[in-house]
Amino acid sequence: MTWSAEGARDGGSRRPHVCLIAMHFPPSRASGVFRPLAMANHLVAAGWDVTVITATRAFFEDVTGSTDDALLDQVDTRIRVRRVPVPADHLVTDVRRMSWQRAHLPKPVGAWQRARRRFAFPDRYERWIPGVVACAAEFNRTHPIDVVVATGNPWSAFEAGRRIATSGARLVLDYRDSWTLDQFRERDAFSPGDRAWAAERRLVDAADLLVFVNEPMRAWHARRYPDASRRMTVVENGYDPALLGDIPFRTPEPGPLRLGSIGTVTEHWPHETWLGWDEARTAPELAGAQLRLYGHLGFSPAAGATIAAMLPGADRGVVWAGPVQKSGVGALYRSFDVLVMMIPSSRYVTAGKTYEYMATGKPIVAIHGPESAAALPMAGYPLLYGGTDLDPRAVAESFRAAARRARTVTAQDHARAQDHARSYRRDRLLAPFEARLRELLR
């Protein structure tokens, strides 16, 4: 079975058909939505028929608790989107929203669920798998699937993709996160003998291509599964120019500088470095300055109170301003004089905001250790301060240096910084990925 450069098979005119399994897709506002959105848009623009299988709106509203309808406008109208309900009663913590059986018979239901987990695919969303497979089987009869791209987490998407691909399609597994690697603690996520290891091994063996968001993560999996290393590649996250918009050069206004951070605030941030911010605020360069944080507190509503308690508060010049719709991100970036990026100091974590921050062309205070995977794309960014030491005194000096530089940045400096970022545009990063998918069909 071969395809021409235009996607015609065996001399015919049919475009290659990719089925993208992504639980998080617009209107979801989860941080993982932007990678599959960019993939789908890029592939349909490159000549593929694209069908996305995702969750229903009810799941985003009732379980994950975040939606952004503005993101629906970013989905290319040529993309077919199929929404499969996610059985989620076992995930509901509010007794008022539980099923009658779970609310009134918690012990028998709990015992049945524990027994079921001993045999089911080892992922909390495994009940989604049959619906996804059935959905794909339905349209595969009239519109054959050539490539299945499953993005995780959740890892049930991988297993659904494996089952769908048994019909003859190629299978691509996109590790947006890691499953058996604890990215933050840099160690195995499961004990030896856990069922997750065998499940991942089965998936890795079945995959025609395994994709990772950074080289350290790819290398870890290559060491774990050396026989699959040649089928592994890296597609970094990058940034979406259409979502970010134009960020022109401007000089700071008179008065206190505007410092900002955009992105999910997590418990994995190096919160101990807030002492460095306290010290920096005493410097003339940061007199009266506030640091405004925009984003969700954690990855679930339950985490909010715990994370809020880790933040300094307005009396120390830090204001949590809440989440912002993606359509408003560009305006926020334009309003900031200095960007502050706090992320875990892990070899395996590259925050998506790393690329957006660089695309603004503004001074960045990087608060993470030198081992962080974010240090790789940021190497050479001309307006970077920090990222080498988490000692509060070093963090304070990074804030002061970025503040001083914000007052002296020129249009040429701004242009050079944005030039560095352009190689990380999502369309440029996805072009080799799209070519690799076509190679699978030769």
pLDDT tens-digit series, residues 285-327: 999 999 999 998 887 777 889 999 999 999 999 999 998 887 7
In the three-class reduction of DSSP (H, G, I as helix; E, B as strand; rest coil), residue 287 is classed as coil
Are residues 213 and 88 both part of a single domain?
Answer: yes
Predicted local distance difference test score (pLDDT) of residue 1: 35
Domains of the chain: total: 2
Are residues 137 and 182 both part of a single domain?
Answer: yes
Number of H helices and number of E strands within the chain?
A: 17, 15
Residue 351 lies in a domain: yes
Residue 188 lies in a domain: yes
Query: Would the pLDDT of 215 be above 90?
Result: yes
Are residues 267 and 221 both part of a single domain?
Answer: no
**What CATH number corresponds to the domain at position 339?**
3.40.50.2000
pLDDT in tens, 11-42: 456 899 999 999 999 999 888 899 999 999 99
Predicted local distance difference test score (pLDDT) of residue 98: 63
Query: Would the pLDDT of 54 be above 80?
Result: yes
Residue 7 lies in a domain: no
Are residues 253 and 227 both part of a single domain?
Answer: no
Residues counted in the chain: 442
Alpha carbons within 13 A on the beta-carbon side of 279: 15
Residue 223 lies in a domain: yes
Check if the beta carbon of residue 188 is closer than 8 Å to that of residue 179.
no
pTM, entire model: 0.89
Confidence of residue 367 (pLDDT cuts 50, 70, 90): very high
More confident residue, 387 or 108: 387
**Mean pLDDT confidence for 38-51:** 97
Are residues 345 and 257 both part of a single domain?
Answer: yes
Query: Would the pLDDT of 95 be above 70?
Result: no
Confidence of residue 140 (pLDDT cuts 50, 70, 90): very high
The average confidence (pLDDT) of the chain is 90
Are residues 234 and 334 both part of a single domain?
Answer: no
Residue 201 lies in a domain: yes
Are residues 213 and 246 both part of a single domain?
Answer: no
Residue 1 lies in a domain: no
Give the range among 154-158, 337-341, 342-346 with minimum mean pLDDT: 342-346
Q: Which amino acid is at 324?
A: V
Longest dimension (CA), the chain: 71
What does the block give as tokens for 160? 């659904």
Are residues 352 and 261 both part of a single domain?
Answer: yes
Query: Would the pLDDT of 2 be above 70?
Result: no
Are residues 344 and 432 both part of a single domain?
Answer: no
In the three-class reduction of DSSP (H, G, I as helix; E, B as strand; rest coil), residue 102 is classed as helix
For the chain, percent of residues with pLDDT exceeding 90: 77
Are residues 166 and 55 both part of a single domain?
Answer: yes
Confidence of residue 8 (pLDDT cuts 50, 70, 90): very low
- DSSP tag of 252: P
pLDDT in tens, 256-291: 999 999 998 999 899 999 999 999 999 999 999 999
Cα dihedral 374, 377, 379, 381 sign: negative
Residue 5 lies in a domain: no
Query: Would the pLDDT of 171 be above 50?
Result: yes
Predicted local distance difference test score (pLDDT) of residue 273: 93
Residue 10 lies in a domain: no
Predicted local distance difference test score (pLDDT) of residue 209: 98
For the chain, percent of residues with pLDDT exceeding 70: 90
**Mean pLDDT confidence for 333-352:** 93
Predicted local distance difference test score (pLDDT) of residue 65: 77
Helix (H) or strand (E) holding 18, with range, is strand 17-21
Domain of residue 247 covers: 241-422
Query: Would the pLDDT of 116 be above 80?
Result: no
Q: Which residues contact 221 (CB under 8 A, 6 or more apart)?
A: 175, 178, 181, 204, 210, 212, 228, 232
Are residues 193 and 331 both part of a single domain?
Answer: no
**In Å, how far from its chain's centre is CA 384?**
23
Query: Would the pLDDT of 114 be above 80?
Result: no
| CA pair distance 103, 415, nearest whole angstrom | 59
Predicted local distance difference test score (pLDDT) of residue 62: 82
Of residues 245, 259, 246, 251, the one with CA closest to residue 287? 259
Are residues 225 and 323 both part of a single domain?
Answer: no
The highest-confidence range among 98-112, 190-204, 341-355, by mean pLDDT, is: 190-204
